[in-house]
Structure 1
Amino acid sequence: MKQRKIEYTDLEAIALDPKNPRLGRSAHKKELAQDEIFNLMRDWSLEELATSFLESGFWAHEAVLCVEEEIHGDKRLVVVEGNRRIAALKRLKKTFSGEENSKKWREIVGEVEEPEKLFSEVPFIRLDQRNEVDAFLGFRHVTGIKEWAPPEKAQFIAKLIDENGLSYRDVMRQIGSKTPTVQRNYIAYSILIQMEDTEGLDVGKVEDKFSVLFLSLARSAVRNFLGVVEKFDAEPADVNPPVSDEYLDNLKEYARWLFGDEENAPVVTDSRQVDRFAKVLASSEGLDYLRTVKRPSLEKAFVIAGGDEEELYDLMSTAAYNVEEALSSIHHYAQDDKLIRVAKRLSANVAQINKIFEL
């Protein structure tokens, strides 16, 4: 971004960004008015910013980045970076004018006099177009300390690729993320868009659980089930649509099991269950269970898919190694009552194992 001077303007001249990724895609589709955007942002932890403004003012080095765009027929200065700062100022101004009902915000203002020029001389930097700060936003909100939520990151990455024609590597260089992560975000977001366009799918909760979708795509069994293996070897231009017609029924099942719908609760309720879910998708027996039982359980599907066998092997192996290690010094404590009780319990368990395996 080239060097630009800091300008100052009245708070009312600056509009909150209707395209702010933190608002979410559902909000973007509604073309919200400024008051509606402000209401969505009221609870975005604005109190600390407001307190800082009252104590120290709005420093020039905190200038927000704006681009001039048309909103609802009017040309406005729209905040590209710094929406929380502007929202905090707007709520602070409403508090001073008596429009704010929150007790917390009235306490923030207290007996403080309205700071001179705080709302009339807001520092900003004028940009020619949004993409001037794409790299900055990527570092700050995708890989930096002020991270967006998973769907917001993926949407931003998709915007860089689709609107600017960038490759995965180009995006990686801009935002500092790893190329495979950029690629998986783009494909996951493309699948989300395809879900929305697929008849019979309820994707209202997909954005809330986007991390589950993203994480699941790291598993080969999930990629195979959706038929997207080749998409991970393709360039962005060859990704869409990610799921071919041949696998659309699988996509519908996948969406239902991950996110549920009006009639079915999700089978996968936590991102930590992704590995078990992938094991089930790789098993014909596990899939048959998911498809035929009215209210399937992931735990039962996992057992049917043979997933507990590997876990059982790990448990038994660990136990065997621990016992072998204990044998090296256990003879020194042969009279210890606590160890004797543990040894009796272990002996009974070993006897049961011998019986099961006919040893």
Structure 2
Amino acid sequence: MKDWTLDELAVSFIENGFWPQEALIVVREKLYGKPSLVVVEGNRRLAALKLLKDATNGSIKDRKWLEIADGLKLSATLFKRIPYIEVDARSDVDAFLGFRHVTGIKEWKPAEKAEYIAKLVEDGSTYREVMRKIGSKTPTVRQNYISYRLLLQMEEVDELSTEEVEERFSVLFLSLRTEGVQKYLQIDMQAEPGQAQHPVPRSHLKQLANFALWLFGTSTKAPIVRDSRQVDQFGQVLLSKKAIEYLERTPRPSFEAAYQLAGGDEPEIVRMIEAAADNIEAALSRAHRYAKSKKLRVAAKRLGEDALQLLTIIPGLKAEVLDEDEG
């Protein structure tokens, strides 16, 4: 039970009760020597309900569950009347369970989920109220709402395909987690619904157009962010003044070039040099055995030339190394 994400289900029970259409599926079997109803589908729902009951009774010490149960006025029947469907045998539901868990019930796309959340918010619900209704987390609800409102703002950008944005909505959603995107667009990710109607201020609509172009492209230009795995790096790019200037002035900018200008490849360069140093140290312990080897001489000459060039690139490093050698 502790390995499952059950708190979101519990919040849904608090707001909506146990929906009959999500009834448990049970079989009557012998358990510990006596006939019992055994749940074959819906164990997460049952586990969430049990933990919620323990939390309301004070018999659980987990802070998260105690906060969920704090001050609640629950339906008197929530823990006493649990909807279930009894089947004759486990084999009767094999096909249903296979479809539900292997093939999977079709879920809404990310943009559709965000639109639904936006509708609830704009019907008057707070982020917290929506969180309780849909069994999510408040920061996720807020981010979905702001992301959807940003999508509506982006519809005003010339040549941008909103269908493309909707298809890659998860990329937009993820990008808003990054400090670089928030600063470049001047988006307040803590804004309440009234302040989040237009996430990007009018003074930054040009930046919004640039952002949309870089992230989603147009019918004639490909986006520079081609993969959701680049989203965090894109945020780092937008923290660099040099990288932003490059992106804004270049008709067809390269993500790799912008990332380098932002210093994004520094950790990789350091890793490569550290790996080379590790290999050299390992080779030094045995290289003396092959001091007359022509192949070793050629390889060592190449290494020396490259190392000398590296020493001259970094200001003052060559003199520092030579002083250490003399010492």
TM-score, normalisation: structure 2: 0.55
Aligned-pair distance for 1:200? 2.5
Q: Any idea what the Cα deviations from partners look like across 1:259-307, whole Å, max 9, x if unmatched?
A: 1123322121111121232222222221222122221111122223332
Native 8 Å contact 1:184 1:214 kept in 2: yes
Q: Which residue of 141, 144, 157 corresponds with 1:182? A: 141
Residue 290 to residue 346, structure 1, CA distance change in 2 (3 Å): farther
Native 8 Å contact 1:155 1:189 kept in 2: yes
Residue 170 to residue 343, structure 1, CA distance change in 2 (3 Å): farther
Residue 193 to residue 316, structure 1, CA distance change in 2 (3 Å): same
Native 8 Å contact 2:161 2:219 kept in 1: no
Counterpart of 1:239? 196
Q: Which residue of 161, 174, 177 corresponds with 1:203? A: 161
Amino acid at match of 1:155: E
Native 8 Å contact 1:201 1:252 kept in 2: no
Aligned-pair distance for 1:179? 2.7
Native 8 Å contact 2:159 2:219 kept in 1: no
RMSD (CA atoms): 3.7
Amino acid at match of 1:171: V
Q: 3-state SS of the aligned residue for 1:291?
A: helix
Q: Any idea what the Cα deviations from partners look like across 1:153-206, whole Å, max 9, x if unmatched?
A: 22222223222x33333333333333322222211111001112x252523311
**Matched ranges for 1:267-278 at <5 A:** 267-278=224-235
Counterpart of 2:128? 169
Distance 1:306 1:349 in 2: 26
Q: 3-state SS of the aligned residue for 1:255?
A: helix
Distance 1:275 1:343 in 2: 44
Distance 1:256 1:347 in 2: 48
Q: 3-state SS of the aligned residue for 2:115?
A: helix
Q: Any idea what the Cα deviations from partners look like across 1:195-239, whole Å, max 9, x if unmatched?
A: 12x2525233111111111111111011000000xx222222321
**Matched ranges for 1:1-359 at <5 A:** 147-163=107-123, 165-196=124-155, 198=156, 200=158, 202-204=160-162, 205-228=164-187, 231-320=188-277, 326=282, 331=285, 348-349=302-303, 351-358=305-312, 359=318
Distance 1:148 1:342 in 2: 61
Amino acid at match of 1:219: T
Amino acid at match of 2:119: K
Misfit runs of 4+, over 6 Å = 2-5, 332-336, 340-344
Distance 1:346 1:181 in 2: 56
Amino acid at match of 1:149: K
Distance 2:109 2:200 in 1: 24
Matched positions, count? 217
Residue 150 to residue 349, structure 1, CA distance change in 2 (3 Å): farther
Residue 315 to residue 202, structure 1, CA distance change in 2 (3 Å): same
TM-score, normalisation: structure 1: 0.51
Aligned-pair distance for 1:334? 8.2
314-323 vs 236-245, greater mean Cα deviation: 314-323
Q: 3-state SS of the aligned residue for 2:242?
A: helix
Aligned-pair distance for 1:322? 6.5
Distance 1:261 1:321 in 2: 46
Task: Using the aligned pairs only, state the percent identity.
Answer: 42
